[in-house]
A and B are shown apart, each in its own frame.
Chain A
């Protein structure tokens, strides 16, 4: 098939024709992104704490882990995790598991640095005030430091969630039919790459646009106590028993 731009006629009806393929891909994309992000958010916390440890050995190990995992190209990482592990060990790896592991490991390294920035932004006096009244280190963290750091962390977390949605397109190479790969397969059947990839792009954009206001909502909720204007709302919410 030769490429002649003057002849090309857009046929957007293929998007409608393959709508269920794209929808299926979108759902898998969301699933991979949500699972990886959740795991990365959990895994990043101990990693950030290790990184901030006063023990040089621990912080050194965490620093190296973060540096290496951030540096690995995700596509190669995914290929190694899926095919490489099978080549070396002979074990069959689950594609979904391999994809999620790669995304989780890489994003946990990024998120750990975000957590660290958030935690270090909290005044030392907060911890001291909590300790001075007899709170344990862990309770001071859970009740005083983390709730404040969380607020700072939310916006960059949202950016990373959008990032992980888009990066999840790379797991198509190991046969996971996420959005991008579904568009590719549909293209291979219909020879309509522009229409299908444009549709995939629109879906990615829509997903990202949905996340932004959700993140702002979470952020506003977390920050309500700092704002004078929300006092009334807070009072109402407390009377409903929602405030801590």
Chain B
């Protein structure tokens, strides 16, 4: 995946600076260059969707945004503060990483719920541990968060006792309870039956009032030849990159 993607400026609020900004990110695994100089900005209230075939680097790109994946080069800025690269001591570096990640929610492709904790404690763990909330406050917050995704009566269920869709909603509740400023979804519906996708993505899961910016990864269906789209005006000199293997570079963004 390579290229530079500038924002759709027309629909975003004037004056709103970029919330999350990735610049010239590179990443290779062994001899495979997965990310080849991708730049991407996310503004407040925006909803960005990344398309591409499997193995194209979508997840890697997404995981770079909370530094679960460390870029080989490039910069990552969140709310004007540079989080990568940094010249910190080892101890401090971990603290800074935690600070970044606690503000960015992530929902994984395979849920990654904690199987040894029930739904409620899946949500409260980070509240008590990272946000240093009291047990009682964390419990109230988690209950509200789970109620929001419609799982009020499933709070004492363990992940193994929940359906796929319910598990995914717990994962969303776990991320949302932290009040993140950005949410990252890694193919949030790929592990679900088509009928369950509505359950996860339906309204009510994330009320508009507190909707964070979101970045979502989806596996694309055949989109060859569709190099231009009114919704994603490619900017700058990298426009020409959309050549032979457009698929890998297709990044769609649209204002929510």
A133 pairs with B99, CB closer than 8 A: no
Bound state CA distance, A191 and B68, in angstroms? 70
Please indicate the chain A residues that have their CB under 8 angstroms from the CB of B114 in the complex: 126, 129-130, 144, 148
- Chain A 59-86 interface 0/1 with B at a Cβ cutoff of 8 Å (1 = within): 0000000000000000000000000000
Q: Which residue on chain B has the smallest CB distance to residue A139? A: B129
Supposing A133-B102, A139-B129 touch, asked if A231 and B68 sit within 8 A by C-beta, the answer is: no
Please indicate the chain A residues that have their CB under 8 angstroms from the CB of B82 in the complex: none
Does A131 count as interface, using CB distance less than 8 angstroms?
yes
Q: Which residue on chain A has the smallest CB distance to residue B67? A: A131
B106 pairs with A226, CB closer than 8 A: no
Please indicate the chain A residues that have their CB under 8 angstroms from the CB of B157 in the complex: 231
A126 pairs with B112, CB closer than 8 A: yes
Please indicate the chain A residues that have their CB under 8 angstroms from the CB of B105 in the complex: 132-133
Does B117 count as interface, using CB distance less than 8 angstroms?
yes
Q: Which of chain B's residues 46-98 have a Cβ closer than 8 Å to chain A?
A: 66, 68, 94, 98
SS of A interface (majority): helix
Does A14 count as interface, using CB distance less than 8 angstroms?
no
Please indicate the chain A residues that have their CB under 8 angstroms from the CB of B115 in the complex: 148, 225-226
Q: Total interface residues on A, using CB and 8 Å?
A: 28
Does A56 count as interface, using CB distance less than 8 angstroms?
no
Does A90 count as interface, using CB distance less than 8 angstroms?
no
Does B25 count as interface, using CB distance less than 8 angstroms?
no
Nearest Cβ on chain A to B187's Cβ, whole angstroms: 13
B161 pairs with A128, CB closer than 8 A: no
- Chain A 213-240 interface 0/1 with B at a Cβ cutoff of 8 Å (1 = within): 0000000000001111001001100100
Does A135 count as interface, using CB distance less than 8 angstroms?
yes
Q: Which of chain B's residues 100-120 have a Cβ closer than 8 Å to chain A?
A: 101-106, 108, 110, 112-118
Nearest Cβ on chain B to A239's Cβ, whole angstroms: 10
Does B33 count as interface, using CB distance less than 8 angstroms?
no
Please indicate the chain B residues that have their CB under 8 angstroms from the CB of A226 in the complex: 115-116, 158, 160
Does B216 count as interface, using CB distance less than 8 angstroms?
no
Q: Which of chain A's residues 121-150 have a Cβ closer than 8 Å to chain B?
A: 123, 125-126, 128-137, 139, 143-144, 147-148
Does A206 count as interface, using CB distance less than 8 angstroms?
no
Please indicate the chain A residues that have their CB under 8 angstroms from the CB of B253 in the complex: none
Set B125, B130, B156: member contacting A235, Cβ < 8 A: B156
Of A129, A133, A134, most B-chain CB atoms within 10 Å? A133
Set B98, B112, B118, B121: member contacting A125, Cβ < 8 A: B112
Supposing A134-B102, A225-B158 touch, asked if A128 and B130 sit within 8 A by C-beta, the answer is: no
Supposing A123-B112, A134-B99 touch, asked if A228 and B68 sit within 8 A by C-beta, the answer is: no
Give me the 10 closest cross-chain CB pairs, A-B, nearest first: A134-B102, A133-B126, A129-B112, A125-B112, A134-B130, A132-B106, A134-B101, A134-B98, A225-B158, A147-B116
Q: Which residue on chain B has the smallest CB distance to residue A148? A: B116
Bound state CA distance, A238 and B116, in angstroms? 14
Nearest Cβ on chain B to A47's Cβ, whole angstroms: 22
B101 pairs with A132, CB closer than 8 A: yes
Does A244 count as interface, using CB distance less than 8 angstroms?
yes
Q: Which residue on chain A has the smallest CB distance to residue B68? A: A128
Supposing A144-B114, A225-B117, A226-B116 touch, asked if A132 and B158 sit within 8 A by C-beta, the answer is: no
Bound state CA distance, A195 and B48, in angstroms? 80
Q: Which residue on chain A has the smallest CB distance to residue B161? A: A228
- Chain B 121-146 interface 0/1 with A at a Cβ cutoff of 8 Å (1 = within): 10001100110000000000000000
Does B174 count as interface, using CB distance less than 8 angstroms?
yes
Supposing A225-B115, A225-B117, A228-B160 touch, asked if A134 and B178 sit within 8 A by C-beta, the answer is: yes
Does B22 count as interface, using CB distance less than 8 angstroms?
no
Bound state CA distance, A148 and B115, in angstroms? 8
Please indicate the chain B residues that have their CB under 8 angstroms from the CB of A134 in the complex: 98-99, 101-103, 126, 130, 178
Please indicate the chain A residues that have their CB under 8 angstroms from the CB of B149 in the complex: none
Nearest Cβ on chain B to A205's Cβ, whole angstroms: 34
